[in-house]
Amino acid sequence: MLNVGKIEEGFVLDHIKAGRAMKIYHHLGLDKRDSTVAIIKNAHSNAMGRKDILKVECDINSLNLDVLAFIDRNITVNVIKDGEIVEKRSLSLPKEMRGIVKCTNPRCISSIEQGLPHIFYLADEKKGIYRCKYCDERFEEHSAEAIL
């Protein structure tokens, strides 16, 4: 039995699709922070079969969680204060993403201008389709080279 201690303040990301914990770890910038992080990969789940879990001890307001819904909409965010769950947040897709994915269109201005931020807007919420703000190129989720 794996035993990971409780945290006093921070959050627990639960119901992460198996294999996506490290992607979330990097996109949240946890590799650049001085926070205690527990990464549990391929944990048994009755509902999902296998899942990943992230436990992060930090100020919950110090992180931008918009990327979570983009990576996996089924993630549950449990907010922890004084060692207890005080809130459970469900996620929704962000209306706009900056610096998360890059446009793969070689003629797009964001591909030519080095300092220009990569910005995508939510074009279809039901299908989870994003488009480049500059050239309207559709983001294909399976296109790994587009992830920054």
pLDDT in tens, 48-70: 889 999 999 988 777 777 778 88
Check whether 145 has a pLDDT greater than 60: no
Query: What architecture is the 96-146 domain classified under in CATH?
Result: Roll (2.30)
Whether 61 and 80 have beta carbons less than 8 Å apart is answered as no
CATH of 10-89, one of 3.40.109.10, 3.30.70.140, 3.40.190.80, 3.40.50.2300: 3.30.70.140
- In angstroms, the CA 51 to CA 37 distance is 17
Extents of the domains making up the chain: 10-89, 96-146
In this prediction, residue 78 carries a pLDDT of 92
Non-local (6+) Cβ contacts of 55 within 8 A are 4, 7, 10, 11, 12, 13, 37, 38, 40
Prediction pTM value: 0.76
- CA 75 vs. chain centroid, Å, equals 9
- In angstroms, the CA 73 to CA 76 distance is 9
Which of 45-49, 69-73, 103-107 tops mean pLDDT?
103-107
At 123, is the pLDDT very low, low, confident or very high (cuts 50, 70, 90)? very high
Location of structure tokens 């436990």: 55
Better-scored residue on pLDDT, 60 or 26: 26
